[in-house]
Structure 1
Amino acid sequence: MSEKNTCCSHQHHHEKSPVKVDIVTPGLPDLPNLPSSASKFRLKIEQMDCPTEEALIRKALSSLPGVLALEFDLINRVLTVHHEAADMAAIQQRLAGTGMQGIELTGEQTIKEQAANVSARSWLHYWPVALGGLAAIAAELLGWYSGDENSLVIALLALCTILSCGIPTLKKGWIALRHFSLNIHLLMTAAVLGATAIGQWPEAAMVIWLFAIAELIEAASLSRARNIIQGLHSQAPETTLLQQADGSWLSVPTGSVELGKSIQIRPGDRVPLDGIIENGQSSINEAAITGESMPVEKKTGDLVYAGSLNQSGLLQVRVTAVQASTMLARIAQSVQEAQGQRAPTQRFVDRFAAIYTPVVFVIAILLAVLPPLLLQHGWHDSLYRALVLLVIACPCALVISTPVTVVSGLALAARRGIVIKGGVYLEQARHLKTIAFDKTGTLTAGKPQLIETVSLGEKSAEDILTLAASLDAHSSHPLAIALLNACKNPLLTATNIKLFEEGRGRGVSGEMNGLDYHLGNQAMWQALQTMDAPGKQPAALEQELSRLEAAANTVLFLCQGNQLLGLLALADQIREHSRAALAELQDMGIKTVMLTGDNAKTAAAVAAQAGISEFQSQMLPTEKLSAIQKYGEKGLTAMCGDGINDTPALARADIGFAMAAGSDTALETADVAFMQDDLRKLPEMIRISQRTASILTQNISFALLVKFVFFGLALTGHASLWMAVFADAGTSVLVVLNGLRLLNSKK
């Protein structure tokens, strides 16, 4: 918990940071600027799993009246249309014009059902490809043995291949031509028709067959990436034991269980819904949420999360979140939204592809025309080389590998209890230069205890604690909770409770038994212009303060009017792994600093325990914000807090990290949320960022190398059409599989 407000300053401002969504439709506004009257609907488009289809849809729909913005989720084949009274019939008509069909989705279950239906039909795609493959191989062998590639038998075999597995590609090529879209299907169509025109029937058959195989393999690879997100949802069971009116238990669909109902979780079962234990105790494995496989002991009154594994006892749980609102569902939704955004590398690849393909296409045309006209080369050879270049012009391997790699990185992080809200943060983390940490609840456990109460007047220490706890009776701040836990006496009734904030003085004021009381930090006491306390000289008070603060205590001042009555010293323990996590960050070359609203001596003691050499104390929220801005001038800067009281600094930092421990607020306010209060998640997230960047670099470098090699081979006449297709398709498959390797990464 942030200490920029003391226990007496309890207004927590939960400010949700704006959603950072990349709208890929040119000329349309970003989501944050959409009018309040805007609506949206989602369409499942089975034919949309590549930027090729995205470009067609974008061109077809962006000019429709009422369409405000488009979001493309290629991994899950979902298009979100933001609109104002857009005509659904017109949208479906435009989609049909691109050869695609959209099915409107109303919930997550619909997505699962559609995925199941597609899986059941997928086998239908294999037999035509198998038939076409036999014909293509036969044509190639006959052509090689006979030396006559224009024979009627070879032409018929090639036509058999084209008709059995090439019709979808040719249809898409025709649609692309009608929409003036230079995509892979148009390039392949041109290559196949061109090969038949110059009598290269076996080549035409082999090209269309290899391309069909490549599309099937790519679809299977993308299906695995798609299942990454669905796998997060599937960790919670689909059925739940629900208590009936007569006390019996009945298995019902999890989605039908309402808030407040009692459910039963047997040993060995997974928890279906978030809830509070009403009866029983058990060891719970919360790896689905926190990424930590060590079981946690749970008892009556404790919270359990959907997807967790009940390892021992029988539990009765009162439901606190329906299926769509569980922490597991929120994590899955955050990852799904994050992978729909374009990461920096993906934006670069898209820009490169937009230039690369037209340039190579123009070069292919020039290669087909200029050598015969200017150098007296044969038209056949020139056209053949141009057709090879058309195949090489496809940037699929480059474009498709990036989103698969990014979603794998996001899913890997989610499995380890790290929820990253966008690919941009996944990529930026490895470049961080400075990370600023809040103290309470981040470096420390956030569970302070009252260490000592010092009376400075006539009232006893017990009375001082009672007065202080009474002022804080309705606060949820950790310091207030510590006072309430320590107070054994009945609380007094405090009225006219209000926050005290003047300059650096922060606290709370209230009236008890007709007298005004104030509880807050030292600056509050000074702002009240307290006179010398009876029985204690200022020098003695300073000595008392020094003694308490040197022991890393947070000291609160209790005043009656402007008279100081006593001091309350509270201490928070440093988190078990804070020092090790910070040392690991420092070994990575990242500067670590602490920003706290606590006093200088307490801050110095905590910083020393955590291994931080630079800290700033007694900071107001605005000063924390300014500090983040200053550090940001020297490089990428992150802020790590609790996600509740650090909203301004978290929002200003390049990356905001929140210690969540299952908190809804942290998921809303931070760019990255750690679902377990363990700072070791931070260097782990940076390692995932580094690993993701490494694989992205490998994929881009390999894809470009293959392109340039075959570009040279095509120009010199040493590459065949089927070799180019094989290289292009093989590269696409390899980079996708390489991206999926992230899921098998070890810690």
Structure 2
Amino acid sequence: MIALAVATMLIGGLPTLRKGWIALKSVTLNIHLLMSLAVIGAIVLGQWPEAAMVVWLFGLSEMMESLSLARARDAIRALTQLAPETAQVQGEDGRWATVPAAQVAIGARVRVPPGERVPLDGRLLTGRSSLNEAALTGEAMPVDKAPGDTLLAGSINGDGLLEMTVTADKGHTLLDRMAAAVQQAQSQRAPTQAFIDRFARVYTPAVVLVAVALAVLPPLLGLGAWSDWIYKGLVLLVIACPCALVISTPVTVVSGLAAAARRGILIKGGLYLERARQLKTLAFDKTGTLTEGRPQLAAVQPLYPSVSADQALHLAARLDAGSAHPLAQAIVAAHAERLGTALAPVEHLRNLPGLGLTAQLEGQGFALGNERLAEQRGAVDDEARSAARSLQAQGHTLVWLMRGTQTLALLALSDTPRPEAAEVLRALRGRGLALTMLSGDQRASAVAMAGRLGLPEDAVRAPLLPQDKLDAIAALAGSQGPVGMVGDGVNDAPALARADIAIAMGAAGSATALETADIALMQDDLRKLPELIGLSERVATVLKQNIAVALGLKAVVAALTLAGIGSLWLAVLADAGASLLVVLNGLRLLREGRP
């Protein structure tokens, strides 16, 4: 048993003992000296398993803290990898060459083929396309780009060949500024000092001084024999052995972390588990967090007397049947669900990047696309414009179905809220939390979604860029106390890093959000949030109970010792008993099964 205990202490406790020795030589009574005294005291008393358990659990908690320090570096690395390392640049002779993005100067002409990422920030010169900017703005809907529009590094080109002029070189793009914001926000959040560490700076010197005084002062004052008072001083030192106190926190926290993991909640340290119950405000990203992050057909509004909603949906699905555009896939999926009829092929299908498409059906010319395409075809009359504005005010993205110069119908698509989102928000408000929605969408869309989730309009902040989200979190933290941020995208990384607790939607969340976050909901289930706060409250209760037991038993034996009743045997029994009680009490958290 002794050999195994010594091996355990050598494997898991040498760094702690080494730091304790350094603290002793420098006369610094810190947590490492406290741990070293606890181990030495347990060994002297012959409590070898106890000594091994104390030093190993403390080493485990130290390792968990050190692993969390790499989050900022990993988050920044993941951000910078979004933009490609090379760019296709036009030379003075008019030829295109692939060069490192870091060597591309402002004003250079860069080509972005379909399906590739934009290497640098710039302004579009020629071409049209729809770009996926979800990684930067959080907006699920592709954004149509025309000459003169801004292109952001890291966004994904759709199906058009684009040429742009560079407006920001490597190191100064929006993506690079996001990485800098993550680093700055991480560095601004100082680690909170653990309660036991603070307590040890007072507890350890106090009990040592009291024990020495108890052993020396009464005999000097002629109040008894030296042997009696030295014995009482030794009893007090044994009572003061902080084994139970030191064990109480790590065993409880580790049990809480394991209980959380069973529920699909990954917590990156005990600090965040304890902090969760202290939150006053929760800020949510909209797209992908409160919503599914995928467009779905919400409504079909016919504008031509002889065309019904089902007929319009069937025509649109025929036109979109071969497209990979997210909106087109949503229309085809809605047709399969609602109608389920076969989709006959169309003729002379022509893709118009950034606008839509045209085709021939039964000898007639049809078009499907955005409002810009409808205006080009002269298909936007007062009725269509009024219907479009009404649908857009509800937060929908519109697809126009046209035959010739006549608009046949408007297809409204929108993101959909997660099924459990409204219920979870009500439960969180019931716990007294203030809730805020942060969104990169247009305000009308964000407010419409908030209404479906039961949030008031004044709880919505939109439209926001990543830096705006960070500023919003900083303002909430300054005015409303501890704030948590729940997000899933790369654009959420700066705000996640700035929050007191960063919570990422795990499976759907980006790698950067997961690295930046303190807590990840691995099953993308918002119902885990109330569970997290409830678990944090139970862990806090157990911690208080353990500290009370660890100190209470010692106080009782100390009082008995001063009354002349205490003994070394009683002190040993109290110390070992307190250690056993706090371990068993902490392990109670593991008994709670999965909900």
For the aligned pair, the TM-score class normalised by the smaller chain equals 0.5 to 0.7
- Offset of 1:601 from its aligned partner? 3.8
The corresponding residue for 1:615 is 460
Q: Distance in 2 between matches of 1:45 and 1:61?
A: 22
Q: Kindly indicate whether residue 440 of structure 2 is the aligned counterpart of residue 597 of structure 1.
A: yes
Evaluate the alpha carbon distance shift between residue 420 and residue 213 of structure 1 in structure 2; reply closer, same or farther with a 3 A threshold: closer
Aligned residue among 23, 35, 38 for 1:184: 38
Q: Distance in 1 between matches of 2:401 and 2:19?
A: 64
Aligned residue among 387, 391, 394 for 1:547: 391
Aligned residue among 604, 629, 632 for 2:474: 629
Q: Distance in 2 between matches of 1:695 and 1:606?
A: 40
Q: Kindly indicate whether residue 495 of structure 2 is the aligned counterpart of residue 649 of structure 1.
A: yes
Evaluate the alpha carbon distance shift between residue 714 and residue 49 of structure 1 in structure 2; reply closer, same or farther with a 3 A threshold: farther
| Aligned-partner residue type, residue 650 of structure 1 | L
Structure 1 segment 701-712 matched on structure 2, within 5 A: 701-712=548-559
- Offset of 1:677 from its aligned partner? 2.5
Evaluate the alpha carbon distance shift between residue 188 and residue 422 of structure 1 in structure 2; reply closer, same or farther with a 3 A threshold: closer
Evaluate the alpha carbon distance shift between residue 60 and residue 360 of structure 1 in structure 2; reply closer, same or farther with a 3 A threshold: closer
Q: Distance in 1 between matches of 2:454 and 2:35?
A: 58
Q: Distance in 1 between matches of 2:42 and 2:7?
A: 23
The corresponding residue for 2:17 is 56
Identity fraction in percent:
45
Aligned residue among 686, 689, 693 for 2:540: 693
Do the aligned partners of 1:441 and 1:642 also contact (CA within 8 Å) in 2?
yes
The corresponding residue for 2:504 is 658
- Offset of 1:537 from its aligned partner? 5.0
Q: Distance in 2 between matches of 1:621 and 1:519?
A: 29
Evaluate the alpha carbon distance shift between residue 357 and residue 411 of structure 1 in structure 2; reply closer, same or farther with a 3 A threshold: same
Do the aligned partners of 2:288 and 2:508 also contact (CA within 8 Å) in 1?
no
- Offset of 1:671 from its aligned partner? 1.9
| Aligned-partner residue type, residue 269 of structure 2 | G
Q: Kindly indicate whether residue 8 of structure 2 is the aligned counterpart of residue 46 of structure 1.
A: yes
Equivalenced residue count is 423
The corresponding residue for 2:380 is 536
- Offset of 1:604 from its aligned partner? 3.1
Q: Kindly indicate whether residue 197 of structure 2 is the aligned counterpart of residue 350 of structure 1.
A: yes
Evaluate the alpha carbon distance shift between residue 348 and residue 610 of structure 1 in structure 2; reply closer, same or farther with a 3 A threshold: same
Evaluate the alpha carbon distance shift between residue 609 and residue 182 of structure 1 in structure 2; reply closer, same or farther with a 3 A threshold: closer
Q: Kindly indicate whether residue 430 of structure 2 is the aligned counterpart of residue 584 of structure 1.
A: no
Structure 1 segment 103-142 matched on structure 2, within 5 A: none
Aligned residue among 407, 419, 444 for 2:254: 407
Q: Distance in 1 between matches of 2:231 and 2:401?
A: 89
- Offset of 1:663 from its aligned partner? 5.5
Q: Distance in 1 between matches of 2:54 and 2:42?
A: 18
| Aligned-partner residue type, residue 183 of structure 1 | L
Q: Distance in 2 between matches of 1:722 and 1:45?
A: 28
Q: Distance in 1 between matches of 2:376 and 2:368?
A: 16
Evaluate the alpha carbon distance shift between residue 549 and residue 45 of structure 1 in structure 2; reply closer, same or farther with a 3 A threshold: farther
SS of the counterpart of 1:183?
helix
Q: Distance in 2 between matches of 1:511 and 1:651?
A: 42
Q: Distance in 2 between matches of 1:221 and 1:185?
A: 10
Q: Kindly indicate whether residue 330 of structure 2 is the aligned counterpart of residue 482 of structure 1.
A: yes
Do the aligned partners of 1:368 and 1:386 also contact (CA within 8 Å) in 2?
yes
Do the aligned partners of 1:658 and 1:673 also contact (CA within 8 Å) in 2?
yes
Structure 1 residues 359-405: Cα deviation after superposition (integer angstroms, max 9, x where no partner): 31222222222211223421111111111111123111111121111
Evaluate the alpha carbon distance shift between residue 565 and residue 638 of structure 1 in structure 2; reply closer, same or farther with a 3 A threshold: farther
Structure 1 segment 96-175 matched on structure 2, within 5 A: none
The corresponding residue for 1:427 is 274
Q: Kindly indicate whether residue 531 of structure 2 is the aligned counterpart of residue 569 of structure 1.
A: no
Q: Kindly indicate whether residue 227 of structure 2 is the aligned counterpart of residue 380 of structure 1.
A: yes
Structure 1 segment 235-384 matched on structure 2, within 5 A: 344=192, 347-384=194-231
Structure 1 segment 429-578 matched on structure 2, within 5 A: 429-451=276-298, 473=324, 482=330, 534-537=378-381, 541-550=385-394, 552-555=395-398, 569-578=412-421
| Aligned-partner residue type, residue 611 of structure 1 | G
Do the aligned partners of 2:251 and 2:587 also contact (CA within 8 Å) in 1?
yes
- Offset of 1:743 from its aligned partner? 0.7
Structure 1 residues 173-193: Cα deviation after superposition (integer angstroms, max 9, x where no partner): xxx9xxx9961354467xx7x
Q: Distance in 2 between matches of 1:364 and 1:413?
A: 42
Q: Distance in 1 between matches of 2:575 and 2:355?
A: 72
Q: Kindly indicate whether residue 531 of structure 2 is the aligned counterpart of residue 677 of structure 1.
A: no
Q: Distance in 1 between matches of 2:11 and 2:216?
A: 35
- Offset of 1:539 from its aligned partner? 8.0
Do the aligned partners of 2:507 and 2:523 also contact (CA within 8 Å) in 1?
yes
The corresponding residue for 2:171 is none
Gaps of 5+ in 1: 1-43, 63-71, 75-175, 193-207, 230-341, 498-507
Structure 1 residues 253-305: Cα deviation after superposition (integer angstroms, max 9, x where no partner): xxxxxxxxxxxxxxxxxxxxxxxxxxxxxxxxxxxxxxxxxxxxxxxxxxxxx
Q: Distance in 1 between matches of 2:368 and 2:465?
A: 19
| Aligned-partner residue type, residue 594 of structure 1 | M
- When normalised by structure 2's length, the TM-score is 0.59
Q: Over aligned residue pairs, what C-alpha RMSD do you find?
A: 4.7
Do the aligned partners of 1:408 and 1:740 also contact (CA within 8 Å) in 2?
yes
Do the aligned partners of 2:9 and 2:56 also contact (CA within 8 Å) in 1?
no
SS of the counterpart of 2:9?
coil
The corresponding residue for 1:33 is none
Q: Distance in 2 between matches of 1:519 and 1:597?
A: 23
Q: Distance in 1 between matches of 2:383 and 2:473?
A: 37
Q: Distance in 2 between matches of 1:545 and 1:658?
A: 35
Evaluate the alpha carbon distance shift between residue 620 and residue 728 of structure 1 in structure 2; reply closer, same or farther with a 3 A threshold: same
Do the aligned partners of 2:391 and 2:412 also contact (CA within 8 Å) in 1?
no
Structure 1 residues 537-568: Cα deviation after superposition (integer angstroms, max 9, x where no partner): 56852442213543x53347999xxxx99965
Evaluate the alpha carbon distance shift between residue 662 and residue 401 of structure 1 in structure 2; reply closer, same or farther with a 3 A threshold: farther
Do the aligned partners of 2:442 and 2:463 also contact (CA within 8 Å) in 1?
yes
- Offset of 1:644 from its aligned partner? 4.0
| Aligned-partner residue type, residue 718 of structure 1 | I
